[in-house]
Chains A and B, each alone.
Chain A
Amino acid sequence: NAGVMQNPRHLVRRRGQEARLRCSPMKGHSHVYWYRQLPEEGLKFMVYLQKENIIDESGMPKERFSAEFPKEGPSILRIQQVVRGDSAAYFCASSPISHGDTEAFFGQGTRLTVV
């Protein structure tokens, strides 16, 4: 049973470009969470999705960031017109039910560098 798969592992984008991060949850998991980790900081919640629904996006910046979890395929975190401050590690986690009640399994992250 493969774990949470994130790709790419490393992504370099120039300022103004779009970054697209993918997350395939563990088999049987229908809840996906995206977190951002800045150097020397903990993980900050961004968004919580179930299939085809955004449940909570309270941690998501209002502009340039969007997320989706379609019926088929991976969850996508999209960052438009990236800026240097977007450079961070982005982690996806999945759980079979809402992870406040159970373990959430994290992927290995995508390290985004904006140059």
Chain B
Amino acid sequence: QQQVKQSPQSLIVQKGGISIINCAYENTAFDYFPWYQQFPGKGPALLIAIRPDVSEKKEGRFTISFNKSAKQFSLHIMDSQPGDSATYFCAASIPGSTGNQFYFGTGTSLTVIP
């Protein structure tokens, strides 16, 4: 059972365009939602994260939009660059629980073409 559903599986965007990746969840106990970026052969690295008390968070060209009522959140990459080509994972966790684990989406392979 996939706790966090991510789409699309792959995405091709022109340089300068906007990349949008969507995630949805069911467990209302989740209250921390990070996005990780992973390059081939590397480990995932935290890109940006949000808590559900805000609807949007922006860091440079990266923005998370969060819709608590719909239980959805998305990553927007503005002015996409070839260097952004990577696999992106959304995740969710329940801080403070003994689980302390992240539930990851299945990933989106982003290719930004020049």
Q: A43-B104, A59-B101 are in contact. Are A100 and B43 (CB under 8 A)?
A: no
The verdict on A41 contacting B41 (CB below 8 Å), with A100-B32, A100-B93, A101-B95 known, is: no
Q: Are B106 and A40 in contact (CB under 8 A)?
A: yes
Supposing A48-B100, A56-B100, A91-B44 touch, asked if A100 and B105 sit within 8 A by C-beta, the answer is: no
The reply to whether A101 and B102 contact each other, CB–CB distance below 8 Å, is no
**Cβ of B34: which chain A residues have Cβ within 8 Å of it?**
103
> Quick one: given A42-B105, A42-B106, are A99 and B100 in contact (CB under 8 Å)?
yes
A side interface size, CB within 8 A = 29
Query: Is there an interface contact between A101 and B106, defined as CB atoms closer than 8 Å?
Result: no
Chain B 41-52, CB within 8 Å of chain A: the 1/0 string?
A: 111111001000
Q: Is the interface of B mostly helix, strand, loop or mixed?
A: loop
Q: Is the CB of B103 within 8 A of A45?
A: yes
- Mask: chain B, 88-114; 1 = CB below 8 Å from A; 0 = not: 010001111111111111110000000
Docked CA distance A100–B51 (Å): 11
Within 8 A of A (CB), among B50-96: 89, 93-96
**Complex interface: chain A residues within 8 A of B106 (CB):** 40-42
Cβ–Cβ < 8 Å partners of B6 in chain A? 42
Interface residues of A (CB under 8 A from B): 4, 6, 31, 33, 35, 40-45, 48, 55-56, 58-59, 91, 93, 98-101, 103-109
Q: B residues touching A (Cβ–Cβ < 8 Å)?
A: 4, 6, 9, 32, 34, 36, 41-46, 49, 89, 93-107
- Identify 6 residue pairs between A and B in the complex whose beta-carbon atoms are under 8 Å apart, listed by A's number: A48-B99, A58-B99, A98-B95, A99-B93, A106-B36, A106-B44
